[in-house]
Amino acid sequence: MSMTDPIADMLTRIRNACGSKHRRVDMPVSKMKTEVARILKENNYIQDYQTLETDDGRRVLRVRLKYAEGQSVIRELQRVSTPGLRKYVGVGEIPRVRNGLGLAILSTNKGLMSDREARQSRTGGELVAVVW
């Protein structure tokens, strides 16, 4: 079965795992999902991520979640741009999530990057997700 929005599926799996206080969550791997996990790790929202090979030969992305004092570090995780309605922003329109405490993930022509990196490199793009 093909999936319409694999990034939304990834974010939903992470959101559900955080709500259930799981230590890790597995999902099918893709380059974009790996890049989203890299950005979340660089900004200290998850502990770690890795790609693994299952017994039946499939590759999965395993994300180890991060908790502080029993609470998940990720409070909210939202998909902004969907396949049905893409949301593009210029460099001046990049949102400051929770006044700089959160993170916006953008897909630019230089690859996936956080809102801070996009402002630094003076490039806009597709607003993929916001995290806080």
CATH of the domain at 92: 3.30.1490.10
Tell me if 1 is assigned to some domain. no
**pTM metric for this prediction:** 0.94
Tell me if 10 is assigned to some domain. yes
The pLDDT of 86-103, averaged and rounded, is 96
Q: Residue type at 60?
A: V
Mean pLDDT in the chain?
A: 96
pLDDT band per the 50, 70, 90 thresholds, residue 3: confident
Tell me if 95 is assigned to some domain. yes
Tell me if 110 is assigned to some domain. yes
Phi, psi of 110, deg, nearest 5 = -105, 15
- The count of domains in the chain is 1
Residue 120: which of 89, 94, 87 has the closest Cα? 94
Domain housing 19? 6-131
